[in-house]
Each structure stands twice: as C-alpha cells, then as structure tokens.
A = this chain, B = another copy of it.
Amino acid sequence: MGRRRPGTPTLEEVAALAGVGRGTVSRVINDAAGVKESTRRAVQRAIAELGYVPNLAARSLAGRRADAVALVMTEPDWRQFGEPFFSEVVRSVGDALTDTKVQLLLTLVRTDAERQRLVEYARGGRVDGVMLMSVHAEDALPDMLAEVGLPTVLLGRRSGEESVTYVDADNAGGARGAVAHLLGLGRRSIATITGPLDMYVAQCRLRGYREALERAGVESRPAWTAEGDFSAGSGRRAMAGLIERAPEIDGVLAASDTMAAGALDALRAAGRRVPEDVAVIGFDDFPLAQHTDPKLTTVRQPLEEIGRTMVRLLLEEMEEPEVAWRHVILRTELVLRGSA
C-alpha cells in the first residue's frame, strides 16, 4: 500500500525530533562512519521514540540496493515443490543469508505469465539478484534475467554450454564412481534408469554410467538403459521393463533415490534378492535419505554446500557486476549403506 499508512514517520521527522539534518539521520541508519557518538545516540533515540522504519521504496529509488534476493523454482509440476531436494536447498540458502541483511524471497514460476511477472519484478529493481532451481533445458528465464544485467546463479545447468553462472554437482563423476563400485563388487551386467533425458542432469548421469563401463572395458547394452522421470513409479516401471528384456542384470544405477526405491520394489516383486542378485545404487536427492530405503547405497549430493555456494557467487556478482560468469562443480560422495 502506498496509501500512506497514517502515522508512518519519515526520516525528516526523525531529523527534526533529533535536531539534526536529514543527511545525519541517513548516515546513522546506514551505519556510515563520521557521526559523532553523541549525535548518533540522539538520532537513535528519536528513531526509537517515533518507531521509525525506513521506506524501502525510497531507499531503492535513491540508488541503493533492494537488499533482497530471489530464489526461484521453475517447476510446472507442483508436486515437486515438497521434495526434500528443494527444501534442503532452500534451507541452506536461508542459512547462508541469515547473518546478512538480505531478505530471501522464494518465488514460484509455473506459467509464462508468472515468468514475465518475475522478470518485471526483478528488472523493476526489487531484488538485487536471482537464484534459480530446477531449470529445464528450454527455459529462457535465466537468459532473460542475465541479459538485463541482473546477477543470476543457476542450480544445475541447462546444457554443456551453459552461459549463466551456475553451481552443479559432479553428476558424471558421481555416476562413474557408483558404477565403478558396482564393478568392484563383481557385477558385469549393469543397467541404468535415467532421469528425463531432456534434462542435462540426467544426461550427465547417463554419460558417467557409460564412461565408467567403457573405461573398465565392460559391455554396455542399449537394452540396459531405461528412462524414468525421477519418480518412484517411473523407477518401478523402468525396472520391470529391464527385468523382462534383460534378466541377466545384476547391478543398477538409478538417477534418483526415489527411482531406486521403485526399482527395489520391482525387483522384489520379481523375486530377485537385493543386493545378492542385483545391487542397486541411486543418486540421493536428500542428505538424510529419510524418505527412501535406509539401506540403499547412494550417491550423495552436497546440497548444503550447493546452497552456500550459490549465495556466495550471487553476492560476489552483486558486488562486482563486471565479472565474467563462472561455474562451480561440487564433488559428490558415495554413501555405502549395504544394499549394494
């Protein structure tokens, strides 16, 4: 409401009450140097007495920053929002900002109208920077933001030639490590359940799977690859299909722990023993793995560090707008938990 809520004191009234000029009050509320201690206290008393709170619109307009950043979820399917993956990222980003005076704003973008609204909001100067989670390959939002000079950081990339600053986990490396582990267990017929292959993250995990087999000189049949969509149901269906057309399979890498859980179901339903007959590893989208089989060996993504890093990169770009875009790729970790 601009509808000037009555009784909202202005900086000018504070100045008058404290018997100083506006500039001095401004310095005090911005912790600027060069104010005599006694004056500072007089001003602070006036502020307290009046219950003064700076008008943020005026402050932004006068040329300072918005002191806010946005964390955007571009996810047409709302179900995803509740996923532990996202709440973990949100939590760690929140933590990373907790000691700053930067307000974190989560926003949700599903439709193009919302996309447009967000761009106008950001370009309108209401946030100093934007972090994007779960960006799909064909999403133009990152470019729309970056092109107008708004500091922008992506979680994950849209392709191998991502042109916007991003933070990603080493998905290919994680997949390689997982497959190497399966090979180390003596498995030779290793299948993979991929994520949706229009997502770069899924491509990377598939690539890592293939590279590990290639490096070890182990065969990889096309029939051993099945595509899922990260959900448990898709994992179950994919695994059922694999069992049918490739009963020889003795190891599986799933691109998400939820799909891995579905795969376990399918395997057990088919009478296979896990991990004796078939060893399964899934990418873990949640550090605590609360929602999945507690015995499932996983490739853990450093979500906590991903959030921290996104914030760091964003704040740096906000300080130094000239700097070129950068990327950070964080190592994953294989967490052995006994089912493989």
**Interface set of A (CB-CB < 8 Å, partner B):** 1-8, 53-66, 68, 78-79, 81-84, 86-87, 90-91, 94, 98, 101, 103-108, 110-111, 113-114, 117-121, 123-126, 128, 148-151, 318, 321
Of A1, A62, A101, chain B has the most CB atoms within 10 Å of the CB of A1
**Which of B105, B125, B151, B318 is close to A57, meaning CB atoms less than 8 Å apart?**
B125
| Secondary structure type dominating chain A contacts | mixed
Residues of B within 8 A of A110 (CB): 94, 98
> B126 and A57: CB pair below 8 A?
yes
Assess the B81–A98 pair: CB atoms within 8 A.
Answer: no
B117→A2 contact, CB < 8 A: no
A106 to B149, CA, bound (A): 24
- Complex CA gap A108/B6 in Å reads 28
Taking a contact as CB atoms under 8 Å apart, the answer to whether A106 and B106 are in contact is yes
Known A90-B108, A104-B108, A117-B101; contact A125-B56, beta-carbon cutoff 8 A: yes
Find out whether the CB atom of A61 lies under 8 angstroms from the CB atom of B64. Answer: no
Residue A103 contacts which of B84, B121, B123, B125 (CB distance < 8 angstroms)? B121
CB-nearest residue of chain B to A124 = B56
Of B2, B79, B108, the contact of A63 (CB 8 Å cutoff): B2
The CA-CA distance from A160 to B149 in the complex, in Å, is: 50
| 20 examples of A-B residue contacts, CB within 8 angstroms | A1-B65, A1-B150, A1-B321, A2-B61, A3-B321, A5-B150, A53-B119, A53-B124, A56-B124, A57-B125, A57-B126, A68-B121, A78-B94, A81-B87, A82-B84, A98-B113, A103-B107, A103-B118, A104-B107, A106-B106
